Amino acid sequence: MSTNAVREKKPQIPVRLFQFVQSVGKVTASTLLGTTLLGSSVVAGGLVGLAISFRNLPDVRVLRSYMPTETSHVYDVNGELLYSIHDEANREVIPLNQISDNLKLAVLGIEDSHFYIHQGINPGAVLRAFLANLESGETVEGASTLTMQLVKNLFLTPEQTFSRKVAEAVLAIRIEQILEKNELLELYLNQVYWGHNLYGAETAAQSFFNKSARDLTLAEASMMAGLIQAPEEFSPFTNYKLAKQRQAIVLNRLVELKWITPQEAQDAKQQPLRLGQITSFQTSKAPYVTEAVVKELTERFGRDALLKGGMRVQTTVDLKMQRMAERTVRDWHQRLYEQGLYYSYEEGQMALVAVDPRTHFVKAIVGGYDYDASQFNRATQARRQPGSSFKPFVYYTAFATGNYGPESPVNDSPVKYPDGDGYYIPQNYGGSFSGTVSIRKAIEVSLNIPAVKIGQEVGLNKVIEICRVLGIESPIDPVISLPLGSVDLTPLEMAAAYATFASNGWQSETTLIAQVTDSAGNIMLDNTPKPSLVLDPWATASLNSTLQGVIEQGTATNAKIGRPAAGKTGTTSSERDIWFVGYVPQLAVAVWAGNDNNAPLGYGATGGGFVAPVWRDFMQQALANEPVVEFKSPTEFDRP
């Protein structure tokens, strides 16, 4: 937010400061103003003479469009803060009228009580500081106005030299000529450092007192104002007694200026203060979520825009559901390890992704059993073979031709296909054959040979085309074994693709980010769902009908949740990856388990036996308050 964005037509001097200036009387005020202006002119003339050599001083006109670096914030879909992202400065910029008058009063009282009168430098303060420092033989008193402090923070190095002080004064005078007092005060209060990597009044108020800067009491504001000279040393987080001493100094100064009464000062000193906590270095509430969001935003907008641009990022994730997903993965990882599934506790891993089919918003995403132990996000970055959970893409392709339906017969018998110098001979799990069966039956018990045959009949390139329509971007080769899942996909891709089945063919772009705005509320990215029908409704309803049978009487009876649900198990022939991907009309969820080192899982590991229960556990929690919704019947649509 630039200063110009909140420029006000008339200066709004804090009420008590305005009353004080008025109370000194016309003659006194005129005399003070005249003396100050005369002194400023004399000193300014001398400084300009001294600063002839400062031809390369910064152009202060850039402040007209200056935008301080600002912290970006990431929220869940309901507006709960998940994570704050910043570079060297943790700052939230707010307009002057949203900062408590108590804080304005306290800061001006202790830092620059003549701020609304001088023209950038305070000749009286300069003279007092000169005499005090001359008498002591060292620097014991400063003469910097608030404007000079702002110049130092924005343009100059902190070195203590005479030439730098001259440059500081010259620039302060220049700035006062192009910006109004309120604009300068707003810049200062948003720029000033309050310790603990807290920059600006709003960020500091939220950290110190867990409230907005607009709500600061006189007691809180005076403590904050007392920190400015040495924020780390005077911080109440590190030395509360010293912070209270600094608060008393500020309050006594305000009484001396007659900006507050002695009774108000006494009340403020006695008011109990409830400190917040340091907010600059807190961890994410949902690290697998925010890691993926930060990656996407960095690729889209650049790292600097994210770290310094004050973005407000609303994700699609429901933190309550995310907590359910994290707890489910953590608990089941332990249980499956105890059952001997994994190579080792550390190598064994699990990922879970939940997508809302109505919006294609990602509602929860877990990339491992413990983010602190491993930051690798298996939900978005690990490509693993899906096994038989790939078969629905083949069968949907067949149904969409209009030549096949759930009851169409397919022969489950030995077959071989030329493959290089030899032959590819698909085998069923267990090695047996079932003869002629319906496609419905072949799906329910996950027969391999029928899937390979159907894949050859409809064409593998057509299957790949459907995968692309469903949003799968991972490389896919049209190898004969493709229908059995000989391709590497991510859990996010699987959950998103199945979500389109759950919505009966309607699809929006799958995303973790609902909207991004800048700190002023201007929209930078809007991912409002724009659903379009990408699949044939009859073919989709037919597939949903067969996949319900997988749960009711097929390989995934461990996934029964007491309501209509569809899904497919997946187990690779090497038993290195096991899956269950299932859905109801309101939620599609993919669960994967395997070893990070790609070692085989324990003997007898199957998707239906080990991860279907994980899916069931999560779905029962996630759908606790959701009504039961039936899938659409194929009879509601025309066959292609």
For 590-610, the DSSP string reads EEEEEETT----STT--IIII
Question: Can you tell me the mean pLDDT for 19-42?
Answer: 40
**Distance, CA of 33 to CA of 25 (rounded, Å):** 12
Report pTM.
0.76
Closest C-alpha to 315, from 592, 531, 525: 525
Look at strands 312-315 and 72-75 and give their pairing. parallel
**What is the distance between the alpha carbons of residues 103 and 106, in angstroms, rounded to a whole number?**
5
In percent, the amount of the chain with pLDDT more than 70 equals 84
Out of 201-210, 351-360, 509-518, 529-538, least confident range: 201-210
- Distance CA(99)–CA(186), nearest Å, equals 9
Which range is least confidently modeled, 58-67, 71-80, 240-249?
A: 58-67
pLDDT band for position 147 (cuts 50, 70, 90): confident
| pLDDT at residue 126, as a whole number | 63
Residue 516 has pLDDT above 70, yes or no: yes
Q: What is the pLDDT of residues 387-406, one digit of tens each?
A: 999 999 999 999 999 999 99
Mean pLDDT of 519-542: 95
Q: What is the SS3 assignment for 398-424?
A: HHHCCCCCCCCEEEECCCCEEECCEEE
Tell me what pLDDT residue 138 has: 46
Half-sphere exposure of 231 (CA within 13 A, CB side): 15
From the list 388, 358, 425, the residue with the least C-alpha distance to 570 is 388
Pairing of β 348-356 and β 587-595: antiparallel
DSSP class per residue in 316-334: S--HHHHHHHHHHHHHHHH
Q: What is the mean pLDDT of the chain?
A: 86
Q: What is the mean pLDDT of residues 568-573?
A: 93
Arithmetic mean of pLDDT, 506-513? 97
pLDDT tens by residue, 410-452: 999 999 999 888 999 999 988 899 999 999 999 999 999 999 9
Nearest to 324 by CA among 625, 627, 570, 630: 625
Backbone angles phi, psi at 271, to 5 degrees: -65, 125
Residue 459 phi/psi, 5° resolution?
A: 100, 120
Flag whether pLDDT at 345 surpasses 70: yes
The single-letter code of the amino acid at 570 is G
What is the distance between the terminal CA atoms of the chain, rounded to a whole angstrom?
A: 55
Q: Given a cut of 60, is residue 224 above it in pLDDT? A: yes
CA-wise closest residue to 388 among 610, 580, 591: 580
Provide the pairing of β-strand 587-595 with 361-366: unpaired
